[in-house]
Structure 1
Amino acid sequence: MKKTKSLYHGHRFPAVVISCAVRWYFRFQLSLRDIEELLFERGVVVSYETVRRWCEKFGAGFARRVKAARRTPGTTWHLDEVFVSLRGEPYLLWRAVDEHGAELDILVQKRRDKAAAERFFRRVLRSCPVPRKIVTDQLRSYPAAKADIPELANVKHVFVKAAARVNNRAENSHQPTRERERRMRGFRAPKRTQAFLSSFGPIRQHFALKRHLLRASLYRKELAERFAAWHRFTELAQNPSPA
């Protein structure tokens, strides 16, 4: 039987170091230099540029495994868009979450028109089943795009006023992105922003439990299960030593 190559083949650092650095970067409000310092404290001498390359290489793959393993998305989509500035130029960050607050998908686009809304709808549909209900603000691009997509044509569409905070599920989901945007002193290029946020959302949410709703013992048990799952996603069990 042919032996498959390790996910970390060709890397001189142990899998546990790479996995830990990637998790820290997408889970916490840490810069690449912060992670370089934390690793140095633990006896690992590595430059922040190497950490950047690890995150770019492994982040998307880890995020896909996290999304594939989580529970089936809810039947209600909450959609919202927010402006982000990329080198001083305005872009729209489109986001969809379900009724549990789980991020379904995000998309960075230049426009806010029907074509942009349709592109986002189709992107979410590629990874999620058809919903029972869609909740959006009163942007007219949403119903216009929805009418042109056969799978969504008969789905119930609820409009809410943004000022009334009725769509809090989607609006609140932007807060971690805003916090990270400030920590990184703004985003740069659209493609890099899309790549970062596509990994940031699933990995952060995998560990961000609703601690205020759980007893301490239950919280620790759930967190331990999340770490065990992360070890499977990152193949740590099969790679305890340097690749």
Structure 2
Amino acid sequence: MPPDRAIYPGFRFPAEIISHAVWLYHVFSLSLRDVELILAERGITVTHESIRQWGLRFGADFARKLRRRRPKPGDTWHLDEVFLRINGVLHYLWRAVDQHGVVLDILIQDRRNASAAKRFFKRLLAGLKYKPKRIVTDGLRSYGAARREILPDVRHRTSRYLNNRAENSHRPTRRRERQMQRFKSPEHAQRFLSSHAIIYGHFRPRRHLMTADQYRRTRAKAFRVRRQETCVQLPA
């Protein structure tokens, strides 16, 4: 192993291998064993359990760094909730995206009443330090109650037809849910999806709105940020 290759303290594999495994797991609909197989084809012998530990250890940290580097979100937020069945119990995944489709935050809760909506609003505001000018939701009354108490000056539009951005952002979650054969616990779902939403979105810009040249520049920037934040060094 070259002496100048970046490493993580306490881990025998170099940073580029660990970060590449975490990247594969979050950006593509791959299982842990799929990632293990891809690395094995490249001559890297590592177990799927090690990859799982890498995801837990570095996935959330990588997502936090990407979140800090994101530009200020748009001033229109789209909020939606979708059900998740975890161990036979119904839970709800609350999600907020801006008008550009960028995921702002997610929260797993076992209710979708006014208290749950308020909790989600508070989490959003605490994490972003910023208030929108307008929010768009479906017809769930819990949003109105939370908005009147927490965001009284923000305009609120309710429409099942204007909230496609939030609804479409659930699709990667559904794919991962099927791939992982459902989540094992609410804590597991929260931990994984919080990281997945940020990492997946970082490498999946709205390509249909870009020219080929714009997309390539955006993609190159995403890879450059990844290398910087995971301490991966490129060969000279």
TM-score, scaled to structure 2: 0.93
Q: Does 1:189 align with 2:216?
A: no
SS in 1 for 2:139: coil
Q: What is the correspondence of 1:19-58 to structure 2 with a 5 Å cutoff? A: 19-58=19-58
After superposition, the C-alpha distances for 1:23-44 in whole angstroms (9 at most, x for unaligned) are 1111100000000001111111
Instruction: Supply the distance in 2 between the matched residues of 1:175 and 1:210 (Cα, whole angstroms).
Output: 14
The amino acid that maps onto 2:49 is: E
- Contact 2:79 2:135 (8 Å CA) reproduced: yes
Q: What is the correspondence of 1:1-243 to structure 2 with a 5 Å cutoff? A: 8-128=8-128, 129-149=130-150, 152-160=151-159, 162=160, 165-237=161-233
Moved more, 213-222 or 62-71: 213-222
The amino acid that maps onto 2:163 is: N
Aligned residues: 229
Q: Which of structures 1 and 2 has the larger relative contact order (alpha carbons within 8 angstroms, sep 6+)?
A: 1
Instruction: Supply the distance in 1 between the matched residues of 2:69 and 2:108 (Cα, whole angstroms).
Output: 25
Instruction: Supply the distance in 2 between the matched residues of 1:153 and 1:8 (Cα, whole angstroms).
Output: 46
Instruction: Supply the distance in 2 between the matched residues of 1:98 and 1:212 (Cα, whole angstroms).
Output: 17
- Contact 2:7 2:13 (8 Å CA) reproduced: no
The amino acid that maps onto 1:184 is: M
Percent identity between the two aligned chains: 51
The amino acid that maps onto 1:189 is: S
Unpaired stretches in structure 1, ≥5 consecutive residues: 1-5
After superposition, the C-alpha distances for 1:201-225 in whole angstroms (9 at most, x for unaligned) are 1100111123333333432232111
The amino acid that maps onto 2:50 is: T
- How well do the aligned residues superpose, as a CA RMSD in angstroms? 1.5
